Copies of this chain bind each other. A is one copy, B any other.
């Protein structure tokens, strides 16, 4: 945009520091003085055809004048070699900050304005604090339906748009119910029927594990758009985490929202539908679990979410069915990536110790999807789905998917490794398990390190309704470090999980 007569040209040097996310460069103090740049300023980095905003740190010794230190995140993203000439510019306040100001003052935004903000998020032109202002001003101040549509469209269109042939189907759960990992069971069932299901799953935002976190225990989930196209062409189904190219703004927005561990409903629906639009989905089944202690905790809310899904589905011409399910308890026995993966395999392998609630729910949703897409007659979906599970065809398809994505197809549910630091919580009295507090369950899993520590989580030895004796194990904590275990035990003093009567 700007044509400067003078540019800053500096030679690259690697700095062996990784920040987790923010993109940082280090300038020498003399250069900073010379150009009037301060620590914390934002510069535009240009190298070859790449261009991104970066934040400035200063140093007196780690780089010399004329050099620029690149932290590991930038190096990894662009693969810039050592001693390369890189161009920097001072960055003007991007226009999208004005748009965020406008929204903070409660004004309606146009498509152009929303697209501009989302594009700036994708291009790293605005930083996380500005994104926080956008998230809170947009989602927490009742956006209009039209603004929600604009945002969904902008999020899809600032990324890669797939065009698959045939009947492209998908299933999505709004989540918030611990366990409930039905997708990796539905996927191979659908695959057996020859439908196309390019499933993109998310990582945990407010939960102990997202489907992508869990599936990653079995096989890699990170693929480029081109690789996804190849996977689908050959196998028709896949399960990937598509954040870098598919509706890519979502990834940054989620990271920011993650700070508060809450997600407004409209934000959730937008994220989901933007990815469906990007993936070219034509038939969609959405599952909304409702539970007093889950993410969606009333029928009223569930209905609002359903109508927002259906509004966007109409706008984007996706044939959609939304089911609302009252669910009192976690689905499955494991909570946390590796424990949930074990539940999934137990169902697919049809082991005797498989969680039957997880199987029932998977079969039901797979059946709906088969019917919605017209592959199977109305009323026959569930039966057909159960059949391919029983006959081992779904497990065979799952092994094909795991292999295609680079995992080990010869894995067995009992061979999956779990955290070695273990602690069993025993019942203090006899009685009946009355209820399980899902939010506290999730919070303790997070203190144990889930979802980032795959082998961290909680196994629910007892379910709601189970009769228990004093001293019996109610649930078991798993993690990999004593520090994490102590943090969780400390948390348990305040956060009760099992209610016994």
Contacts and interface: CB of A to CB of B under 8 A. Distances in A.
A62 B71 CA distance: 12
Contact of A36 (B62, B136, B481): B481
A19 B39 contact: yes
Total copies of this chain within the assembly? 2
Contact of A8 (B34, B141, B483): B483
A35 B481 contact: yes
Contacts of A260: 97, 100-101, 104, 130, 133
A406 to B, nearest CB: 23
Given A17-B26, A17-B58, A20-B40, A483 B128 contact: no
A354 to B, nearest CB: 30
Interface residues of A, number: 69
Interface string A41-66: 10000000000000011111110000
A16 B26 CA distance: 10
A449 to B, nearest CB: 5
B133 A482 contact: no
A299 interface: no
Contacts of A480: 36
Contacts of A5: 482, 486
Interface string A75-106: 00000000000000010110001001100111
Contact of A104 (B4, B36, B104, B136): B136
A260, A443, A486, A490 — which one has the most chain B CB atoms within 10 A of its CB? A260
A326 interface: no
24 contacts: A2-B487, A4-B487, A5-B482, A6-B482, A6-B486, A17-B57, A18-B57, A19-B24, A19-B57, A20-B38, A20-B39, A20-B41, A20-B56, A35-B483, A36-B449, A36-B481, A92-B447, A100-B260, A104-B136, A105-B140, A132-B132, A136-B140, A137-B140, A140-B141
